Amino acid sequence: MFVFVVRRAVVSFFIVLASTALMYVLVALSGNPLKDLLEYNGPGREARIAARTAALNLDVPIPGRYVLWLQEVGTCVAPGGDECTLGLDRKLRPVLPQLDVALGSTMRLVIAATVLALLLGVVTGVVTALRQYSTFDYSVTFIAFLCFSLPVFWVSTLLKQYIAIDLNTWLQDPQMTYASIGLLGLVAGLIWTIVIGGDARRRLVVAAVAAAATSGTLIVLLNVGWFRRPALGIAGIAVSALVLAFLWSALFAGLRPRTRPVLYASLATAVAGTIVVALAQPLMAEMTWLTFGALVLVLIALGLGIGYLVGGHTRRLAMQISAVTAVSVVVLMSVDQLMRAYPALFKATGGRPMATTGSQTANLNGTFWESNLDLGLHLALPTLAIMLISFASYTRYTRASMLDVMNQDYVRTARAKGLNERTVVVRHTFRNALIPLATLVAFDFAGVLGGAVVTETVFGWSGMGKLFTSGLSNIDPNPVMAFFLVTAVATVLFNMLADIAYAYLDPRIRLR
C-alpha cells in the first residue's frame, strides 16, 4: 500500500509535469499578454510594458518561461516557502492569494456535486437494473438521456430564473391554493407509482396513498407555518432515525431470525442517539466544528458499543450497522439544526434565502448552523446544475454494470445456493458492479471541474472557474496556469483514491 502510494506519487508527479507543460505552451500561444499595452497610447506605455514583461518573464522563450514558472511552483512545495506566489498576474498581483479564495468554494461545489451524483446515480442505477424494462426504467433512461443533452449553462440559467427567484418570492409568503396542493399530491402519487411499480391494483393503492400523504402533509405544514420556521424536532428525529435503522438493517442484514440482533442493535442506537441529541441541545447554539466532531464521535462510539453488546454472534455486522444508524442520527440532527437556523438567515438575507450569486452571503456573521445553512443554500443550485450530467452517466453505468454482473455465473451460483434475493443483489451483484465504477469517478472528475467553470460564471461565484475564464479572456497566463495546476493535482489525487478503492473492492487487484 505504502509502496503503491509512493510509486503513484512519482508517476503522478510526471503526469502533472507533462500536463502543465502542455497547457503552459498552449496558454502561452493563445495570445500576447502585452496586446492591450501595445495598443495603448497613453503615458508610461514603455514603463508598463517593461514592468509586465519582467513580471511575466515575457523576454524569456516559452520553454524557459515554463521552467521559471516551475521554480515558482517549487517554492510553494519546498519547506518554508514564504516567497511562494505561483507567479504574478497582469496587474502584478501574486496569484496564490486569489487561488486560496477560489479553491475553497470550487472544491466545495465539485465535491458536493460528485458525491451527490454518485450516491443518487448508483441508487437509481441499481433500481433500474433490478426493474429492467419497467416504466421506472424507461423514465430514468429518458431522464438520463435528457441530462446528457442539457447544456449546463442553460440549465443553470433556468434554475436561477425559475427556481431561485420564484422560490424566494414564494417563501416571502408561503401560501398555496387547494388546487395546487391537490396537483402536487397527484404528481407525487404518479412519481411514487412509477418508482414502486407492481400490478394495477398495487399501483392504484400506491398512487392514492402517496397523493393523500403529500397533500395532507403540505396542508399541515402550511397551516402550522412550517415554511417560515421549519424544524424536525426531537420527535421527528426519533421517528426518522427509527425508520432509517429499520431500513439499514433490512437492507444490509435482512430480517431473518439469525440477524435479529442487528435490527435490535440499530433500533437501540436510534433511540439512544436521539436521547443524546436531545441532551446535547444546549450545545447547539455554540456549536463549532470541534464540538460537532466530538458529538459525531460520541454517537458513533455509542452505536459501536450497542452493536457490541447486543450483536451476539452477528456482532461485527451489528456494530457496522449501528454505526451507520448513528451517522444517520447525526445527519438528522444537522438537518434539524439547519432548519432551525432558517428564520435568522431569512432575516439576514432580506427575505431571499435562496442565493443566486456568489458562494456565500457577505458579512453574515451568523452562528455555526446559520453560516452552514447559508453555504448550503448557495451550493444547492450550482451543485444541481453540475450534477445532472454526472448523475446521468453514473445511473447508466451502474445499470449496465449491474445487468452485466447479474448475468455472471457466480450470481447463478448464489441463486443455486438458495440465498434470498436481497443477499444475491447486495452481496453478490452490487459489490461486483461497483468495481468498474471506481474508474469512472476518476474520469468524471475533470468533467465536473469543467462544468464548474460554466456554473460559476452563471451564478457569479468567484471560484476557480472565474479565475480561469477571466484569465483566459484577459490573456493573463499565470492565473490560468494556477487553474490547470490545481485541476491536474486534484485529478491525479482522485485517480489514486479511485485505484485504492478499486483494490479494496476487488481482491484480484493488488496495489504494487
Closest CA to 441 of 388, 394, 509, 503: 394
Residue 372 CB, shortest distance to other proteins, in Å, is 28
If the CB atoms of residues 244 and 453 are measured against other proteins, the closer one turns out to be 453
231 Rama class: left (phi>0) / alpha (psi -120 to 50) / beta = beta
Residue 434 CB, shortest distance to other proteins, in Å, is 9
- In angstroms, the CA 262 to CA 253 distance is 7
C-alpha cell at 361: 452571503
If the CB atoms of residues 237 and 480 are measured against other proteins, the closer one turns out to be 480
Q: Are 329 and 248 in contact (CB under 8 A)?
A: no
If the CB atoms of residues 17 and 208 are measured against other proteins, the closer one turns out to be 17
Tell me how far CA of residue 337 lies from CA of 219, 236, 408, 487, in angstroms.
23, 12, 46, 34
Residue 446 CB, shortest distance to other proteins, in Å, is 5
If the CB atoms of residues 157 and 462 are measured against other proteins, the closer one turns out to be 157
- Strand, helix or coil for residue 363: coil
If the CB atoms of residues 109 and 244 are measured against other proteins, the closer one turns out to be 109
If the CB atoms of residues 26 and 119 are measured against other proteins, the closer one turns out to be 26
Closest CA to 439 of 482, 500, 480: 500
Residue 391 CB, shortest distance to other proteins, in Å, is 15
If the CB atoms of residues 16 and 268 are measured against other proteins, the closer one turns out to be 16
If the CB atoms of residues 273 and 465 are measured against other proteins, the closer one turns out to be 465
- In angstroms, the CA 378 to CA 362 distance is 12
Q: Are 270 and 238 in contact (CB under 8 A)?
A: yes
Closest CA to 108 of 437, 365, 409, 459: 459
How crowded is residue 503: how many other Cβ atoms within 10 Å of its Cβ? 18
Residue 511 CB, shortest distance to other proteins, in Å, is 11
If the CB atoms of residues 134 and 291 are measured against other proteins, the closer one turns out to be 134
Q: Are 19 and 483 in contact (CB under 8 A)?
A: no
One-letter amino acid of 512: R
Residue 72 CB, shortest distance to other proteins, in Å, is 20
Strands (DSSP E) along 285-418, which ranges? none
If the CB atoms of residues 5 and 446 are measured against other proteins, the closer one turns out to be 446
- In angstroms, the CA 449 to CA 467 distance is 13
- In angstroms, the CA 270 to CA 245 distance is 6
Torsion of CA 307, 310, 313, 319, to 10 degrees: 0
Q: Are 110 and 382 in contact (CB under 8 A)?
A: no
Residue 23 CB, shortest distance to other proteins, in Å, is 6
If the CB atoms of residues 202 and 417 are measured against other proteins, the closer one turns out to be 417
Q: 264-268: which pairs have CB atoms within 8 A and are 24 or more residues apart?
A: 264/310, 265/306, 265/307, 265/309, 265/310, 265/311, 265/318, 265/319, 265/321, 265/322, 266/303, 266/307, 266/318, 266/321, 266/322, 266/324, 266/325, 267/242, 268/306, 268/310, 268/322
Measure the CA angle with vertex 269, ends 263 and 270; round to 5°: 90
